[in-house]
Structure 1
Amino acid sequence: MHGRCIRPTMSSEVGSGKSQARKTPAVGWGFCIQIQLLKDAQHSNYPDLLGAVRCYRFRLGGMKRPFCQGRTMVSLRGWQAIWRLLIGLFCTFITGHCSAPKSGWRRTRQSTALRSPRKPTRVIDELVHLKALMPAAGCRRISDTFNRLHAQRRQMTVSKSFVAYTLRRERYAVERQRRALRRRKPYSPERNAVWALDMTGKQDIQGRQYAIFGLVDHGTRRLLRLECLANKNAWTLLGHVFLSIGRYGKPKAIRTNNERVFTGKVFSGALRLVGIRHQRTDLGCPWQNGRIERLFGTLKAKLDQWRVLDGEQLRVALREFDFWYNRVRPHQNLAGRTPWEVWCGIDPYRRVVKRVEWFEAWDGLLCGFYLDG
């Protein structure tokens, strides 16, 4: 037998087509049957090998019954328990003496590289803020900007590699801060700090085009001048600017777009002579002069619904719009106050109103309550 046991197929199973016996645990079977056959051969309990095989077939009927009815009573379940015990002891011995490292790998020697301490959180926040302010800047430019700002004051510098890894990891934070910057309310400086100047046009029913001159104070949003011009040369624009300066005072700067009449030597030179700084927006960026553009948006929304017969009617209509915009219509970014109230420093929520009048013009297009205190 050489220690191997071959299970024969019974005649009843062959006839019925069942070639597979009931599944029974096979741990130690060959070893147990070999010992049983040797002992049976010594005591001559079975005349031939066929009897031992039949006894083995009889053993498959139950787990608790012995192999044979002879002197040797060996239980299969007992041998399985002993085999499991030996395997458990062997595994316990191997696990206790051959344990793997915790991290999965082990460094053969200590690294001699010097590592800088971890950057504080305020450094990462400052890098995110710089990237939100300068979205087109790369890691080198942001690194140079940070080092110029904080190297001497806070004794803190960053490398371009650290900036690149940090911004790659904090992309979501950069986008959130850019969104917050776009939605923040604009800061309102003092009055007469910056004036916004621009021009638009309106056509009458006869097809004649009229140029409209607009001048707005940045801080208070007050409409300083809204006039219909006879022509669009630089001297005419300077005349209206100087009339506004004589009435409201001289501003520190005037912001315009890059139209030819504003970039010429006459307009720029006259502002330089009187000590007014000329600010110009970038090419194709009208939102950089958003105060006057927003005013013209409100004006055109009403003016497109109004029929203009001639230039004189347009001048009267613009004066009515000037009064409605400055003293009747409340402004959202001025906390519900009108530009006139902000210019004069009046708080409508604390003053006592002496007179309330209903204002209406342009066939109901311009309407609201005028509060006189």
Structure 2
Amino acid sequence: MMKDFTFNVPQDIIFGKGSLKRLPELLEKSGSKKMLLISGPVLKKIGMVEKVEEIVKASGIEVEVFTDVEANPSVATVDKATEAYKKAGATSIVAFGGGSPMDVAKAVGVLAKYGGEIGDYEGAHKVPGPIVPIIAIPTTAGTGSEVTAFSVITDEARNYKLTVFSYELIPSYALLDPELVMTSPASVAAACGVDALIHAWEAYTSRDASPFSDAMAEKAMELIGANLRRFVANRQYEEAAAAMLSGSMFAGIAFAWARLGNIHAMSHPVSAYFHVAHGVANAILLPTIVEYNALADHGRYEKIYNYISKEKDPVIDFVPKMLVDEARDLLRDLGIPQHLADVGVTEDKIELMAADAMKSGNIMANPRQSTIRDIIELYKKAM
């Protein structure tokens, strides 16, 4: 029997080559005459932040810029960006970059409107109402953060990645221009691309999945599965760039409504303790968790295999191990490390990481039930 579900997509999504130039039009729609642009130092260094500034200023809208966003952004960065927003007298935020600037923008959108500290809103549905209007422009394909209801911020005092989950966080507009992802280095394209695939994958196997999230997840896996390898091979391949960016967005919508699973629950502590890039941490955990969850499979593993496999002939006798092997092959093809030990993770932190992983709501959505002992064993296996 189909269980109850609800969904809406409460934002305008604009997709198209060269669509960055439509940013002033969206700012006009949001009623803003002064915006804070939140981005990162790399995009500033290569001149992309300046390009956005020029487009906006040419339309007569004032711009202030905050580009001190690091990977796995911290509570301190959120506080600094909130201060910059208030000082500027801004009335909207443009988040430009990967998941990190978007996480910060969402957090600033909450604090600028309702005050306090971001930790006050940790957990689900603590944001009391609409936040500052945000226009999200991804430059990676990617986190899907432009369409999700989550902000993940590192609390360095606790070595903990706190999550704020509220549908109020979904940006008012998502502007997806494939030209912006065509400058990614191969390593970034690989890590972000696998992250997007895992978003769709975990949403698809989630215990909270619905026909709506399934439709989004399946389309995401179709687009990403067929294009991830060739996009990493050549980011200038326009068709692959467009497929990856749209696939990442569909994956984001899928997990905004279906949650994720053990991969994400376990990757956040890896990033918090060892500063491993989020996409890399997810990717390394993928084969171990896929193997663990096989016991709960009810036909979905074969569908995922068909989306991501290099073999295009129909499978006659599928077994779940084929998907585990395919996941390992994918990481090898993309040049992503195979083990947690390869990225500096040490065994002495496993019990602490497992305790933090168990606090994640994603554990409850994972298809196979997990105890803290299970999580400890999975970390050890992924070492």
Which TM-score band applies after superposition, normalised by the shorter structure? under 0.3
Using structure 2 for the length normalisation, give the TM-score: 0.21
Higher relative contact order, chain-length normalized (CA < 8 Å, sep 6+): 2
TM-score of the superposition, structure 1-length normalised? 0.21
Look at both structures and tell me which one has the larger radius of gyration over its CA atoms.
1
Higher helix residue share: 2
